Structures are given as structure tokens and as C-alpha cells.
Amino acid sequence: MNILRFSFFILLNILLFTSSCKKDNFSQEALRARFTTPIIEFGEVTFRNYSENATDFLWEFDDGNTSTEKEPVHEYLELGAFNVKLTASKGNESDEYMVKVVIGQIFPDNLTQLDDLPFGGKTQMIYFTKNGKGYVAGGIDYSDFQYDQDLWEFDPANKSWTQLSNDVPTNLNNATSFVLNDKVYFGFGNSNFGIGDLSFYSYNFQNGNFVLEGNFPGNPTSTGPIMDAIGFSYGGFGYMIGRGQNDNSQKRMWQFDPVAQSFSEFGSYPCAGNSGKFHFIIDDKLYVGLGNEFPYSYYDNKTDIWEYDLVNNTWSQKGDFPGDGRRDGISFSHNGKGYFGFGIEFNSTTTTVKTFSDLWEYDVASDMWTKILDMPVPNKQELFAFVLDNSLYFGGGNNGQSFSTSEFYELKLD
């Protein structure tokens, strides 16, 4: 039997539903059915029997299975709440006892937890891929609120990390990046002291050098730092879609020419969300949406999705995302499908916070989203993620409660 592993993040509620004693003959030693579930590991439940004066036992696990063992170990293959009933008996006497066992998220067979990240737990990093390897730079560790200046390379062949630099420019919090030729371009964001600028850098993969390429066009005093913007490359150019912290009406789109080393503005975007949006590219089309309107408020996350034709420079609205509105998730494309997941939702009406570790698949032809996974991982918001070969690698980020995580995972996509 294929054994599904389940999350150890299990909610166990023990509720006494019925306790009835059936007796045909008087007994000085009353028969009593009782049990607990002290061990629940990945959906495999170990039952401890504390029944008194019983010789026979019937366990009903509420999933169609039963057992007559005294202390069975039962594996649940589905999520949900199960009313487990034990009938303890001796001769003609019997007693029943019921406990509700709630099994949490499934740990999928195609998900593997790798060694913890060598750079520890941090969030708000930039990340990218080049020549079959993944890269993570900068970010902040919530344990000491220090902005990091390191750059790491991940090799999927041996699942190992190598530190390439400890001298990355500091303004990488909520920064933007894109890869062109032998360089990754990055910048904007805000600095160690929360003050943003418009500095724009490059890192050369060939010689390992960082270069200040100049400043992004605009006035950092009036617009504020360019934060949480979308960065990507297409057709030999780099792109940045976003707005300044102090001007939510900007909604600007910029193209970077690596030959001229300059940006040019070429339009605006219609998305309701400005900050923390998702994006991926499929067949010359950019798909973007979700996020929220104002920086730092995080409230009232959006669900609208838009398609941008990179060839014809036209926008069209698609169907809304069917899941919860949210920001700061992960997104990517693979084999002609788009993917989005994780993130955090804030509701200004109820002032509640909801975090996610799910994954949704988008089909372009039908304009339909399908939820394909719920993953029992602590990574929720502002994590890094990149696809190498047929695997999604993701890690870092925080748990939605300002606690940086260092867990690192591989999810097989095919």
C-alpha cells in the first residue's frame, strides 16, 4: 500500500460523544472503555487503550476500517475529522467511548524536505535562475532584523549551496531583479534604515563583479522607493512593473535596454493590486494579478487576474482567482501551465490574518484555476522559489507571524 505521509501539524480534539454501559449481569468491577491518541505522526495514529475490565475490543475508525487489536496503529489516507469509536466488552457487558481525531495537511509523496538553508531563515530576498542553477541574495532575518549582503548559488545536481559573495549592495529589501545574458540586474527596494533609493546594480556571472549601473528614472523623494515591483526578462529586454511607495497612482511599466543601459516607460498596468502581485509568462503573454493596493497596509487583497500581450502591447482581463485574495506568494510557469501559491491575506473588516501553503495550477486555454496541493510547511510568505529541470525548489520566507524560516523543499512537478 502506498503510504501517504501527513503533516505533524495536527489538530487533535478529544471530545466525549457517548459513554454508555450495557450490562446484562451485575458486576462488582465495572467495565469501562477509554483510550487516547498520544502519537499522531504523518497520519499514522497510535491508539493507547485504557479500558478497564475488558477482554475484547472493536475499533471503528470512521473511514470504513475496523480493528480488534487492543492497541492498534491506524493510518489515515485522507484529511478530515474522524469520530473513532472503541467498543470494549467482556462477555455480555460492553461500553463505548468516542474520540474525534482531526488529521491535518497531507505531506505529498512528491515533496521532499532537504537540508536547512545554510544562510538561515530570512525573508524578502531576490532570487533567480541561470544556467540550470538557482540563486538567492540579500533579504532580512527577523531574528535580528539585519539586512544580509550575501549571494548563494544552489546546484540541483547534488542539492548543495555555495556562497559566492558577502558584499551584495544593501538595498535589497523588497527589491526587483531580472536576468539578461551573463548578468542579473537588480535594485530599488529599501536600505538598512528603511530609506529607499533608485539605485540599480548588476552582477556578472562570468567574473563575479557587482556594478552600480546607475539610478532608475524618477524622483525618489516624491515617488518613494520602487518596492514589490515585478521584474522579468523577455525578448532580450528587462521589464519592471510597479509603482513608488508614495504614489499608488503611478502603475508604470518600464523596459530596460541592456545595450543602451537605460530604462524607458511604455505604458501602465490595469491591475487593482500594486504590491505583492504574482506573475508568470506563457507563450508571449504575461499573467499578473492579486496583491494589494497600498504598501505596508497589507489589507484588502485583490483577486483580479490580467493578461498582457508582450507582442501587441495590449491588456485583457481574465477570470478572477477563485482562491482567497492574498499577497507575497510564489508564481512560475512550467510546461505551458501557470502556477501560484502560498502568501498571506489580511482582512480589514475582521482584522484577521490567514496564511497559505497551497499551490494552484492555471490552464490558459480554459482560463481555469485548479488547486492541486496543500503542503504542511512553515513557509508561508515572502519565500523564494525557482524551477530547475522538473522540480520546484522553495524555502525561506516567514510563517506569517514575523518568524523567519530556514526550511527548504523540493517538489517534483512531473
pLDDT at site 148: 87
What CATH number corresponds to the domain at position 170?
A: 2.120.10.80
Tell whether 127 and 73 lie within a shared domain: no
Q: Which residues contact 402 (CB under 8 A, 6 or more apart)?
A: 142
> What does the alpha-carbon distance between residue 43 and residue 121 come to, in Å, rounded to a whole number?
28
Tell whether 68 and 185 lie within a shared domain: no
Tell whether 163 and 284 lie within a shared domain: yes
pLDDT at site 216: 73
In a structure prediction context, what are the per-residue pLDDT tens digits for the chain, which is 414 residues long? 333 444 433 344 433 333 444 444 444 578 999 988 766 666 778 899 999 999 999 999 999 999 999 999 998 877 778 899 999 999 999 999 998 887 877 678 899 999 999 999 999 899 999 999 999 999 888 777 778 899 999 999 999 999 999 999 866 677 889 999 999 999 877 655 555 567 889 999 999 999 998 877 765 555 555 677 899 999 999 999 987 666 666 788 989 999 998 888 888 999 998 888 999 999 999 999 999 886 555 567 899 999 999 999 999 999 999 998 999 999 999 999 999 999 998 877 777 788 999 999 999 999 999 999 988 899 999 999 999 999 999 999 998 877 899 999 999 998
Tell whether 92 and 184 lie within a shared domain: no
Tell whether 389 and 407 lie within a shared domain: yes
Asked which of 107, 128, 147 is the last residue of a domain, the reply is 107
Tell whether 134 and 99 lie within a shared domain: no
Cell of 161: 549551496
> What does the alpha-carbon distance between residue 36 and residue 134 come to, in Å, rounded to a whole number?
46
Tell whether 237 and 225 lie within a shared domain: yes
Q: What is the pTM of this model?
A: 0.78
> What does the alpha-carbon distance between residue 212 and residue 25 come to, in Å, rounded to a whole number?
91
Asked which of 75, 107, 139 is the last residue of a domain, the reply is 107
What CATH number corresponds to the domain at position 44?
A: 2.60.40.10
DSSP β-ladder status, 176-180 and 183-187: antiparallel
> What does the alpha-carbon distance between residue 301 and residue 265 come to, in Å, rounded to a whole number?
27
- Burial (0-12, 13-18, 19+ Cβ within 10 Å), 142: middle
Between the CA atoms of 226, 353, 273 and 360, what dihedral angle is there, to the nearest 10 degrees?
110
Asked which of 86, 107, 128 is the last residue of a domain, the reply is 107
pLDDT at site 222: 58
The backbone region for 42, taken as left when phi is positive above 0, alpha when psi lies in -120 to 50, beta otherwise, is left
Collapsing DSSP to helix, strand or coil, 167 comes out as coil
pLDDT at site 383: 95
- How many domains does the chain contain in total? 2
Tell whether 95 and 165 lie within a shared domain: no
Do 317 and 306 touch, CB atoms closer than 8 A? Answer: yes
> What does the alpha-carbon distance between residue 58 and residue 167 come to, in Å, rounded to a whole number?
65
pLDDT at site 41: 63
Tell whether 97 and 165 lie within a shared domain: no
Tell whether 94 and 178 lie within a shared domain: no
> What does the alpha-carbon distance between residue 117 and residue 132 come to, in Å, rounded to a whole number?
19
Tell whether 97 and 217 lie within a shared domain: no
pLDDT at site 108: 85
pLDDT at site 21: 44
Cell of 141: 532575518
pLDDT at site 38: 67
Do 189 and 202 touch, CB atoms closer than 8 A? Answer: no
pLDDT at site 227: 72
Q: At residue 98, what are phi and psi to the nearest 5 degrees?
A: -125, 140
DSSP character at residue 52: B
- Burial (0-12, 13-18, 19+ Cβ within 10 Å), 114: middle
Strand-pairing partners, residue 359, are 341, 373
pLDDT at site 300: 78
Tell whether 161 and 248 lie within a shared domain: yes
Q: Which residue has the cell 548578468?
A: 183
Expressed as residue numbers, the domain containing 199 is: 111-412
